Amino acid sequence: MSKPSPSSTASTNQAAAANAANAAAPAKGSLAAFKGLLPFLRPYRRQFALAGIALLFAAGATLAIPAAFKQMIDLGFGAAAGEHSIRNVDATFLALFAVATVLGIATAARFYMVSWLGERVTADIRGAVYSHVVNQSPEFFETTQTGEVLSRLTTDTTLIQTVVGTSISLALRNTLLFLGGLVMLFVTSAKLTAIILGLLVAVIVPIVLFGRRVRKLSRDSQDRIADASALAGEILNAMPTVQAYTHEKIEAKRFGSSVEGAFAAAMQRIRARAFLTMLAIVLVFGTIVFVLWLGAHAVLQGTMTGGDLGQFILYASIVAGSIGALSEVMGEAQRAAGATERLLELLAARSSIRNPAHPRPLPARVGTGGGAALALRDLTFAYPSRQDTAALSHVSLDIKPGETVAVVGPSGAGKTTLFQLLLRYYDPQAGAILLDGVDIRDLDLHVLRGAIGIVPQDTVIFSADAMENIRYGRPEASDEEVIKAAKMAAAHEFIERLPQGYRSFLGERGVRLSGGQRQRIAIARALLKNPPLLLLDEATSALDAESER
């Protein structure tokens, strides 16, 4: 049995699969969406092959059981049994036990392999989607809610896991049972089988047509779940404000309405799928019962043996059961197709800010004390969502290495916008920004942002301890360097007073700290990075006068 691929290759598989998935353009609103998953499945051909072998053995063992029962009936209890009937029955039951043993081993092997594949492929998809999303420009997050992205990473990938880890295996197994059972039905009685096929064609057409409606309802249901997740994420991140305005009941009611909308959409899908399952089972089994009635008359007339009829009944049950199972799998697949579409939409999103094809290096800084030179050349910019209103208009500025420059203006004057352009979160509509004489659009994004440290207006604190929050500025920094940066930012004293000092957990978004303490952590983080260009966006707005000095 194949072992899982080493974890060191997982990220490579994710990146390659994500690029290939982006190139795929599946027909929206159909099972063709699953073509976009092929790049994530290809690295595991060997595991799929082993699962397929186990599947063939399991299906073969299942199809052998009716033939064994035919022998038992005809040779053990039929007119041809004679004095050897006991010996025939014993031999038949020994054969049945052997078949059951093969079936058990093969089924266990198949379950292990397909479960591993489901977990592995889902992990690759989550990793690829997350890696793709974190490389998007801020413009992407202006139009996409964080809660919706999280819903796609969790709920949608879980549906795909079900398809890869269960539904594909069940579909292949029942397809093999259907085809094998059909062949054996023809071998047993071609006449009765021909009648069954004629009736089944008329039965399957309405099932397929109704299945399309189930897929559309599944997509709508997933969208409503994502809306509820996005609303919950927004409110939970703003709980102090919600409570300050006593809007707890209002927000609970909003979320309740959103959840009820998701429930209503889910119930539409469930009703449609339940009807599809009922329709498939009633029509298929009704057809088989009618044909078996004809077979019973053939036995009474002596044109079939009891063993033949018993074998025909068992194979008919296998064929009917496989069709019923395939209709169930189709319902799951229709639901997962909508989830796949939504994930592929994320992977297809293209950032407007990209690395240049041939990035230029930054020149060596000699005699500048490690500082960077910055120049703005006739800079004009408007946000993509507000193209008619210029945030900056014809701005020019020269800053020499080592200089400290304050950009002053009222709220909305464009101070934060300027910093976003320096970090190349956006590109200006006109003009240029030069860092050490090089247009920042010609620089690799990591090189550019690696040369800049920023303390943002909205301080970001991660769910970690104080030491790791500061070390985020330079992950390879030693504890001594972190403490030195904290002292420079006037953060050392209050950190030392925390219960576990630098190892104290600061809470989600730093809820255990005051506004001023969060700002000092952010300043220490930027100072630890020690970049050539340091940007402070109202970095001392929450500090007292003494700390600000």
What's the CATH code of the domain at 22?
Answer: 1.20.1560.10
- pLDDT for residue 288: 73
- pLDDT for residue 294: 83
Beta strands at 430-435 and 392-399: parallel, antiparallel or unpaired: unpaired
524-548 mean pLDDT: 74
pLDDT exceeding 70 applies to what percent of the chain?
87
Claim to verify: residue 342 and residue 395 sit in the same structural domain: no
Q: Is residue 439 part of a domain?
A: yes
Residue 85 has pLDDT above 70, yes or no: no
- pLDDT for residue 84: 56
Q: For residues 281 and 290, what is the distance between their CA atoms, to the nearest angstrom?
A: 14
Do 230 and 141 meet the contact criterion of CB atoms below 8 Å apart? no
pLDDT digits (tens, 9 = 90+) for 469-522: 899 888 898 999 999 999 998 889 989 998 888 898 887 778 788 888 888 898
The DSSP secondary-structure symbol of 434 reads E
Q: Is residue 353 part of a domain?
A: no
Q: Is residue 217 part of a domain?
A: yes
Residue 361 has pLDDT above 70, yes or no: yes
* Band of pLDDT at residue 88, cut at 50, 70 and 90: low
Both tokens of 339, joined, read 């989830």
Helix (H, G, I), strand (E, B) or coil at 43: helix
Decide which of 331, 348, 365 is a domain's last residue: 348
Residue 4 has pLDDT above 50, yes or no: no
Decide which of 348, 367, 396 is a domain's last residue: 348
- pLDDT for residue 236: 79
Helix (H, G, I), strand (E, B) or coil at 508: helix
Q: For residues 533 and 453, what is the distance between their CA atoms, to the nearest angstrom?
A: 6
Q: Is residue 8 part of a domain?
A: no
Q: Is residue 334 part of a domain?
A: yes
Lowest mean pLDDT among 67-81, 213-227, 319-333: 67-81
* Band of pLDDT at residue 9, cut at 50, 70 and 90: very low
Q: Is residue 273 part of a domain?
A: yes
Claim to verify: residue 311 and residue 458 sit in the same structural domain: no
Claim to verify: residue 343 and residue 385 sit in the same structural domain: no
Which domain covers residue 385, as residue numbers? 375-548
Claim to verify: residue 343 and residue 386 sit in the same structural domain: no
Do 403 and 368 meet the contact criterion of CB atoms below 8 Å apart? no
Residue 388 has pLDDT above 90, yes or no: no
Give the CATH number for residue 420: 3.40.50.300
Residue 539 has pLDDT above 70, yes or no: no
Burial 291-330 (b: 16+ CB within 10 A, else e): bbeebeebbeeeebbebbbbbbbbbbebbbbbbbbbbbbb
Burial 33-55 (b: 16+ CB within 10 A, else e): bbbbbebbbebbeebbebbbebb
- Mean pLDDT, the chain, rounded, equals 80
Q: Is residue 1 part of a domain?
A: no
Both tokens of 389, joined, read 């209103």
Nearest to 276 by CA among 226, 319, 323: 323
Place of tokens 């030392």: 496
Count other C-beta atoms under 10 Å from residue 286's C-beta: 12
Q: For residues 271 and 280, what is the distance between their CA atoms, to the nearest angstrom?
A: 14
Instruction: For the chain, report the end-to-end CA distance as a whole number of angstroms.
Output: 67
- pLDDT for residue 506: 86
- pLDDT for residue 484: 92
- pLDDT for residue 78: 53
- pLDDT for residue 7: 44
Which amino acid appears at position 182 of this protein? L
Claim to verify: residue 344 and residue 389 sit in the same structural domain: no
- pLDDT for residue 544: 52
Query: Of 155-159, 194-198, 495-499, where does the model show the most confidence?
Result: 495-499
* Band of pLDDT at residue 83, cut at 50, 70 and 90: low
- pLDDT for residue 369: 64
Q: Is residue 77 part of a domain?
A: yes
Claim to verify: residue 154 and residue 267 sit in the same structural domain: yes
Residue 363 has pLDDT above 80, yes or no: yes
Do 480 and 507 meet the contact criterion of CB atoms below 8 Å apart? no
* Band of pLDDT at residue 241, cut at 50, 70 and 90: confident
Claim to verify: residue 341 and residue 441 sit in the same structural domain: no
Claim to verify: residue 343 and residue 452 sit in the same structural domain: no
* Band of pLDDT at residue 543, cut at 50, 70 and 90: low
Claim to verify: residue 132 and residue 246 sit in the same structural domain: yes
Claim to verify: residue 197 and residue 251 sit in the same structural domain: yes
pLDDT exceeding 90 applies to what percent of the chain?
8
pLDDT digits (tens, 9 = 90+) for 122-144: 888 888 888 888 888 777 777 77
Both tokens of 361, joined, read 């290096």
23-33 mean pLDDT: 52
Lowest mean pLDDT among 210-214, 302-306, 337-341: 210-214
- pLDDT for residue 441: 92
Lowest mean pLDDT among 169-183, 202-216, 229-243, 261-275: 202-216
Q: For residues 189 and 543, what is the distance between their CA atoms, to the nearest angstrom?
A: 89
186-192 mean pLDDT: 85
Both tokens of 324, joined, read 């019923």
Look up the pTM and report it: 0.63
Phi, psi angles (nearest 5°) of residue 535? -110, 125
Decide which of 306, 329, 348 is a domain's last residue: 348
Claim to verify: residue 194 and residue 335 sit in the same structural domain: yes
Claim to verify: residue 406 and residue 313 sit in the same structural domain: no
- pLDDT for residue 215: 66
Length of the chain in terms of residues written: 549
- pLDDT for residue 470: 92
- pLDDT for residue 3: 42
- Number of structural domains (the chain) is 2
